[in-house]
Amino acid sequence: MDNLDLINSLNEEQRAPVLQTEGAVLVTAGAGSGKTRVLTHRIAYLIQNGVHPYNILAITFTNKAAAEMRERVEKITYDCQDMWVCTFHSMCVRILRQFADKLGYTKNFSIYGEQERESIVKQIMQSFNIDEDQKKTMTYHIGNAKNLNLTPLQYRAEFGYLRDIDNICKVYENYQIELKKNNAFDFDDLLNKTYELLETNAEAREKYQDRFHYIHIDEFQDTNRVQYDIARILSQKYGNIMVVGDEDQCIYGWRGANIQNIFDFKEDFKDVKIYKLEQNYRCTKNIIDVANAVIKHNEQRLDKVLYTNNDEGDSVELFVGYNDVQEANFISRRVKELVDSGFEYKDIAVLMRYNALSRSIEEGLLNANIPYKVLGGMKFYERAEIKNVLAYLKVLVNNQDNESLLRIINFPRRGIGSTSINNIRALADSQNMSIFQYLKDYAEFLPTNIKNKVIPFRDLIIELTSIQNTKPLLDVVKDVITKTKMREAYMEKNTTEDENRILNIDSLLASVDAYAKTYPDDSLAEYLQSITLLSDADEQDDSQNSVVLATVHAVKGLEFKAVFVVGLEDENFPIIRDNGQDDIEEERRLFYVAVTRAKQKLYLTYCQNRFKFGQIKRFMPSRFLDELNGLKNIKRVSFNRGYNLDNVNTQNASSSNYQSSYSYQNNYDNDNKFDYSQGFNIANNEINKPTVQTTAFSFESKSTDGFVVGAKVEHPRFGVGVIVDTTKLNSANVISVDFEDVGVKNLTFDVSPLTLI
């Protein structure tokens, strides 16, 4: 593609920032407006106009996005071999691999995640006799301190009013000491230590300032202050930096993302050129109307309004259910209808504010035989058997990695108990050595019963370490699995679970093989780095034809043909805290992100009653629904007792259309305003108290006298519960009971051994 074709393939909004190649550029890009297209075309334009790929840096927020960006640029230019296209963390690892010695680390350092952090914090707390119940507090404050890039001493000065500040800073200080001893960085340190390096070391700073003539940052709204400062330092020599983001999609404040970075960029960089991308290519007009109607209520934003040339599309459906069981049944029915009309299951997503809301939806999908997957569950690389293999590999690369070594010193079982391990660790600490170095130097001097167990382990690690650079990557991993007898360890009990563990190990080998074929020159250390830095989005499997259940955070950057946004009640979405307007604005941005994941179909659901904190609670509709006042493209849906969903025009409907356990219906009034009052009678426009219908549904083979909504029942397996709904699913009569111990269960009434209490 030549220059002219490249530029002509963009719309007018996109073309302007691509041609503005010099100086500081801020692009505020609405959802689905083609920001990745702008970035890739700008990079391609630079290359076609003589800029060497070596001098271009492109930063994204997932490895998957980086790979896609590189692939797009290569299709246009056929030349980006020497260009860095990576995440912030990957970039920092590359820099630290070159200069870690300047900070007192070796270049083969390990990278620790949340599990390693929690393990070290727990050990430190035990050494100081701090109650284990405080672990969550300690890990939170360590993370908070690092997000703010504060040392323990600085954190004490900033947050001295905290009740546990002494213990927090003591644990934080010793946590950093332990990381250094293990020659390890955690994820936060990858950023903070890179910033420290660039600030204090002229050689490193000048090397990368000289290299990167043009810097591009995607998803700029998700940067924290340290990332912002790293970018500022790198761009100081040439001043050519382009950031693309959307303040309306800043949803990671809880992990340090700072929406203020977008506004500071305008002040910190001289003569900033600002461009807006407002044309959405993803969604229908009706979906865009919903997104705009809500997000306009935020104050922390640049003034932009999404528009689209796409079709108007189907009306957005708003379902109001009596409880979460009805909500789940509505979703299952709509999913079936979508699939019958030509959608695939993987085209559909059910999005919620937090994971706990998925339980009733999962049960509804199971009952309807609808395949689904939950994003953000147990990730492949967090499975115990996979972490065991990886721990061996990490020790081969970094013998100082105590955390990984402690994981495998007695796996597979060697009879090395916790007392022996603690003694060895204490001896190693007394000599200021890593555990492995101590075993190399002093294992022969340990008591005989311990010596005879640890020496074979030590010698195995020495043997495996010696082969890591002499064999292909796949053969190294195979040798680790074979020589440690990893498979045999999982064959002892011959259970289905252990068979699955073995299959997972085989899957790991397959992934190593695929990686080695793609990156034949990469070392074991580089492979470990690649999987350590994987994000949630990178691990998503698009090949599985299943409905996606996920939190809104988990689907950032994804899109689906049909989206259900569920649990739209105050307290659930938005989650209401005491931190004021900033929190509500981030919650509103979350809703905006959820809505704009939908390409063709959007469904919003709200329940008047929901099981939460061990009891059924009554909820008010989300304030975001009230902000949709005046929209004409929302179709209200009522739930019928016989499992028939009737689409009704509520302006002309009567209360008899809604035949649930209660005779009321929450709906919009004649001005399309959502009425928060319970018991709204559409026919005569009066507010009535909800009244329980006492007529039970009809069963042929079993008497239903007394089995009505609100009745207390007992089940021999599930215990005592309350009937919350009755319905018909296909030919089966289903009764929904909220049990005290196990939550809501949908039971086939005719065969369920329920008794009235």
Average pLDDT over residues 461-469: 91
Per-residue pLDDT band at 697 (split at 50, 70, 90): very low
Residues 496-510 as b/e (b if ≥16 CB within 10 A, e otherwise) read eebeebbebbeebee
pLDDT band of residue 623 (cuts 50, 70, 90) is very high
pLDDT in tens, 199-221: 999 999 999 999 999 999 999 99
Distance separating alpha carbons of residues 712 and 723, to the nearest angstrom? 7
* Identified catalytic residue from 40, 221, 223, 249: 249
Neighbours of 606 (CB within 10 A): 25
Residue 688 or 470, more confident? 470
Q: Are 244 and 27 in contact (CB under 8 A)?
A: yes
Indicate if 36 belongs to the active site.
yes
For the chain, how big is the Rg over CA atoms in Å? Answer: 29
Q: d(Cα 664, Cα 638) in Å, to the nearest integer?
A: 11
Q: Give the relative orientation of helices 114-127 and 135-147 as an angle to the nearest 10 degrees.
A: 120
Of 201, 264, 254, 258, give the one whose Cα is nearest residue 232: 264
Question: pLDDT grade, residue 237 (50/70/90)?
Answer: very high
344 catalytically annotated:
no
Residue 664 pLDDT > 70, yes or no?
Answer: no
Given pLDDT bands bounded at 50, 70 and 90, which one contains residue 688? Answer: very low
363 and 744 Cβ atoms separated by less than 8 Å:
yes
Residue 597 appears among annotated catalytic residues: yes
To which H or E segment does residue 46 belong?
A: helix 35-48
Banded model confidence at residue 722, pLDDT cuts 50, 70, 90: confident
Please count the other Cβ atoms lying within 10 Å of the Cβ belonging to residue 114: 12
Q: Report CA-CA distances (Å) from 218 to 9, 243, 267, 598, 623.
A: 21, 6, 19, 21, 31
Catalytic residue, chosen from 13, 14, 28, 35, is: 35
- pLDDT for 357 equals 87
| Catalytically annotated residue among 13, 178, 219, 403 | 219
Could you read off the pLDDT of 14-40 as tens digits, one per residue?
999 999 999 999 999 999 999 989 999
Name the active-site residue from 597, 601, 623, 636. Answer: 597
User: Using N-to-C axis directions, what is the helix angle for 418-430 and 448-467, rounded to 10°?
Assistant: 70
Q: What is the mean pLDDT of the chain?
A: 85
The token duo for 29 is: 């890009």
Distance, in Å, from the CA atom of 720 to the CA atom of 738, rounded to the nearest integer, reads 8
Catalytic residue (choose from 186, 218, 586, 725): 218
Q: What is the mean pLDDT of the segment spanning 84-92?
A: 94
Q: Does 693 participate in catalysis according to the annotation?
A: no
Lowest mean pLDDT of 268-277, 340-349, 593-602, 663-672, name the range: 663-672
The CA distance from 359 to 614, in Å, is 13
**What share of the chain has pLDDT > 90, as a percent?**
58
Q: Other CB atoms closer than 10 Å to residue 714's CB: what's the count?
A: 15
pLDDT confidence band for 734 (50 / 70 / 90): confident
Least confident range from 315-329, 512-526, 619-633, 697-711: namely: 697-711
Report the pLDDT averaged over residues 187-192: 96
- List pLDDT tens digits, range 394-434: 999 999 999 999 999 999 999 999 899 999 999 999 999 99
The answer to whether 224 and 264 have CB atoms below 8 angstroms apart is no
Q: Which of 591, 624, 589, 573 is nearest to 247 (CA)?
A: 589
Instruction: Quote the CA–CA distance of 203 and 535 in Å, as a whole number.
Output: 31
Tokens linked to 420? 């022996």
Least confident of 297-306, 548-557, 748-757: 748-757
Catalytic residue from among 13, 14, 28, 36: 36
496/679 Cα distance (integer angstroms):
52
CA distances from 735 to 36, 61, 616, 629, 710 (A): 49, 46, 17, 36, 12
Cβ–Cβ under 8 Å, residues 36 and 1: no
